[in-house]
Amino acid sequence: MTKIITSIKEMRQLTNELQLQGNTIGFVPTMGALHDGHLKMMAQSTDENDVTVISIFVNPLQFGPNEDLASYPRDIDADATKAQSVNVDYIFHPSEKEMYPQNPTIEVKAGRLATVLEGAERPGHFDGVVTIVNKLFNVVRPNKAYFGKKDAQQLAIIEKMVDDFNHPIKIIAVDIVREEDGLAKSSRNIYLTEQERLEAPHLFQSLRLAQSMYEQGERESEKLIEKTREYIEQHTSGNIETVAIYSYPQLIKQEQINGKIFISLAVKFSKARLIDNIIIGN
């Protein structure tokens, strides 16, 4: 039976005891509204660790003033049922007051990696991410933590944070889970209208088009970006916010592709802003 824990003190005591007993702890931080992408990470954690802890906490620090904090889907009972289906042992589900008894005095900054792509579109977002992940790591103290490649920029930032702050935690990158038609699974997909849901798989198809051009030898970023944008404009009603090519995980903009890169896009539909990416090269 999956147990829900709401206090930092109890979570710390529990993980202390587990580690003293020699258990390895896997950890999956989430904001709830669990979908198959989350469950894949959790299942991998249960396979690779003695105990799996997930967190469900909608972190206000990573939402901008005009974003969907108030309307973000919250259903702890449904989430607990899903977590139990993949044998999660504990859910850490603190209140906002428990995690932030007062506004943080000391700020954690994501730095240069957060000045591009999603970070440029959502100022302060990744500062909020690294703040909460640091807090969660200090509470749960896992051996391994699992993050999805769907948020590739976030993954790169977390990996660098762990390195810079000397967290004794191994970060495990988990592949994107997609619907049968290619749409990346996301908690925000529920905001799509019926017509937008039919259009949304074309985001992945646009990335596949860019990948095929790369595989045929194209190395000019601008040509890949142009074709990707054209495809999205022809096949969806969404407003393109970003199509960009950066080195990975360094996140340096590429004019001529050399080495491992990721092609990233963000498209705004009427009530849903969707992101997707594909990592290619060596």
Q: What pLDDT is recorded for position 70?
A: 85
CATH T-level fold of 187-280: Pantoate--beta-alanine Ligase; Chain: A,domain 2 (3.30.1300)
Q: For residue 107, is pLDDT > 90?
A: no
Q: Which of 50, 41, 24, 11 is nearest to 169 (CA)?
A: 24
Q: What pLDDT is recorded for position 282?
A: 78
CATH T-level fold of 3-174: Rossmann fold (3.40.50)
Residue 149 annotated as binding site: yes
Q: How far is residue 91 CA from its own chain's centroid? A: 18
Residue 175 annotated as binding site: no
Q: At what angle do helices 221-235 and 202-215 cross, to 10 degrees?
A: 150
Own/partner pairs for 56-59, CB < 8 Å, 24+ apart? 56/30, 56/31, 56/32, 56/91, 56/92, 56/93, 57/29, 57/31, 57/32, 57/92, 57/93, 57/94, 57/99, 57/132, 57/136, 58/31, 58/32, 59/31, 59/99, 59/128, 59/129, 59/132
Q: For residue 67, is pLDDT > 90?
A: no
Residue 124 annotated as binding site: no
Q: What pLDDT is recorded for position 69?
A: 87
Band the pLDDT of 246: cuts 50, 70, 90: very high
Are the C-beta atoms of residues 247 and 259 closer than 8 Å to each other?
A: yes
Return the H-helix or E-strand segment holding 5.
Answer: strand 3-5
What does the pLDDT look like over 111-160, one tens digit per residue?
Answer: 999 999 999 988 999 999 999 999 999 999 999 999 999 999 999 999 99
Residue 144 annotated as binding site: no
Q: In sequence order, which ranges of the chain are alpha helices (DSSP H)?
A: 8-20, 36-48, 76-85, 96-99, 117-121, 125-140, 152-164, 194-199, 202-215, 221-235
Q: Which residues are catalytic?
A: 38
As a whole-number percent, the residues of the chain with pLDDT over 90 amount to 91
Band the pLDDT of 38: cuts 50, 70, 90: very high
Residue 177 annotated as binding site: yes
Residue 167 annotated as binding site: no
3-class DSSP assignment, residue 170: strand
Put the strands of the sheet holding 273-280 in their side by side order: 239-247, 261-268, 273-280
What does the pLDDT look like over 256-276, one tens digit per residue?
Answer: 999 999 999 999 999 999 999
Residue 154 annotated as binding site: yes
Taking the domains of the chain in order of start, what are their residue ranges?
A: 3-174, 187-280
- Average per-residue pLDDT for the chain: 95
Q: Determine the average pLDDT of the residues in 166-170.
A: 97
Neighbouring residues of 25: CB distance < 8 A, sequence distance ≥ 6:
15, 18, 19, 49, 50, 51, 52, 53, 140, 141, 142, 143, 144
